Chains A and B, each alone.
Chain A
Amino acid sequence: MSKIEDILTRYRSGSHESLIPILQDVQVEDGYLSEEAVVRIGAFLGMSTTKIYGLATFYDQFRFAPAGRVHLRVCNGTTCFVNGSAPVIAAMKETLGVEPGQTTRDGRFSYELTACMGGCNEGPVVCVGETFHTHVRAEDIPEMITKLKVLADLK
């Protein structure tokens, strides 16, 4: 919680226009927006937590549960879709057992759907950290996850 207080010192209490920058800072610091953080920010800015939550859920960049130790980004852009990203997403859901934006119970994995990552001619694209997996097929997913488990357990 003290980290939040550090962030808040950089902003003026009650200035509603600081909301998004604060949310971004907190997300960078904590990896997600916790309930406590939202309540604290609300008190700091004099805003209802409902308003903050409503605004934050409008943007894809904010998450409300801690990300997994390995976080995957699956492209949901037009070209990847045409190249078959829908079965890939379905396989991801099936293998991990969670919806996009959620984290697996063991804390290893989370994934999100993103807009175009610029790999249109290599799609469907799945990005893990700095690594881009290209031409991903649904049947590749279980193996990919098994391999990544090792990485997750190292973290």
Chain B
Amino acid sequence: MPPDNPKLPQDPTPIVGAATDITPLTHFGPKPPHERTAAEEAGTINWEAIAASARFKELLRAKRRFIIPAMIVFIVYYFALPVLVGYAQPLMEKRVFGAVNLAYLFALSQFFMAWIIAALYVRAANRFDRQARAIIAKDSSAR
């Protein structure tokens, strides 16, 4: 909330409990950063400076360190299925549990592979979110 300015009329926003950063009803003073529209934000941000900052480069590196290996693992694992089924059919027809053969188990395992990678990504992405929030906070305090 902008500090009280005796020259402006009294802000009619009701104050209940603790002070918040809600934009006052009369819109005196600048909007808090999270309420600006995309159009209002254009031109107010120095993109090159952020892109060149150490924090941002660290975020990109962290993302690359997770996403590239994850993509490689899932693509290799997934395409192993048609390749093995197509070119190693006798092996895939081998029975493992009762009637259930390797081919079915391998296909079934693909579902769990996808879910596990997704879960690992969500965990990693929470870390990326914290890094991104730090970059944004630093940028809006600089402005």
- Asked whether A and B interact, the reply is no
| Chain A residues packing against B (C-beta within 8 Å) | none
| Chain B residues packing against A (C-beta within 8 Å) | none
